[in-house]
Structure 1
Amino acid sequence: MIKSWMVIGAITLLVGLGGSLIRPQDAKWFNRLQRPRWLTFERAIPFIWTVIFICGAWSAYIVWQNDPYSAKTWLLMGLYFLLELVTIAYTPVMFLQRSLKVGTIIGGTGAVMSIILALLVLPISLWAFLLLLPYVIWSPIGTYVTWKMIQLNPEAA
Structure 2
Amino acid sequence: MVGVRLISERGGQARLSWQPYAGAAAAVTAAAAVGSAATDSRSTWYRRLSKPRWQPPPRAFGAAWTPLYASLAWSVGRAWSQADDGDRSKLASVLAVNLSLNAAWSWLFFAARSPRAGLAATALLNASNLHLIRRVSRCDPWAATALLPYAAWCSFATALNARIAQLNPRS
Q: Shared fold (TM-score greater than 0.5)? A: yes
Return closer, same or farther for 1:37/1:66 CA change in 2, 3 Å cut-off.
same
Shift in Å, 1:109: 0.5
Which whole-Å CA distance do the structure 2 matches of 1:72 and 1:31 have between them? 44
Bigger RCO of structures 1 and 2 (CA < 8 A, at least 6 apart): 1
Q: In structure 1, what is the equivalent of residue 51 of structure 2?
A: 35
Which whole-Å CA distance do the structure 1 matches of 2:38 and 2:24 have between them? 24
Which whole-Å CA distance do the structure 1 matches of 2:111 and 2:117 have between them? 10
Return closer, same or farther for 1:63/1:23 CA change in 2, 3 Å cut-off.
closer
Return closer, same or farther for 1:24/1:39 CA change in 2, 3 Å cut-off.
closer
Q: In structure 1, what is the equivalent of residue 141 of structure 2?
A: 126
Bigger drift between 93-102 and 109-118 goes to: 93-102
Specify which of 69, 88, 95 is matched with residue 80 of structure 1.
95
Alignment of 1:51-62 (within 5 A): 51-62=67-78
Kept in 2, the 8 Å contact 1:16–1:88? The answer is: yes
Pair 1:63-2:79 in alignment = yes
Specify the SS of the correspondent of 1:102: helix
Kept in 1, the 8 Å contact 2:83–2:139? The answer is: no
TM-score (norm 2): 0.81
1:118-147 deviation digits (Å, cap 9, x = unpaired): 122223212111111012211111011011
| Structure 1: stretches of 5+ with no match in the other structure | none
Greater fraction helix: 1
Which whole-Å CA distance do the structure 2 matches of 1:65 and 1:110 have between them? 24
| Structure 2: stretches of 5+ with no match in the other structure | 1-16
Which whole-Å CA distance do the structure 1 matches of 2:18 and 2:129 have between them? 28
Kept in 2, the 8 Å contact 1:26–1:95? The answer is: no
Return closer, same or farther for 1:77/1:104 CA change in 2, 3 Å cut-off.
same
Which whole-Å CA distance do the structure 1 matches of 2:127 and 2:94 have between them? 12
Q: CA RMSD in A?
A: 2.2
TM-score (norm 1): 0.87
Q: Which has the greater radius of gyration?
A: 2
Alignment of 1:16-35 (within 5 A): 16-22=32-38, 27-35=43-51
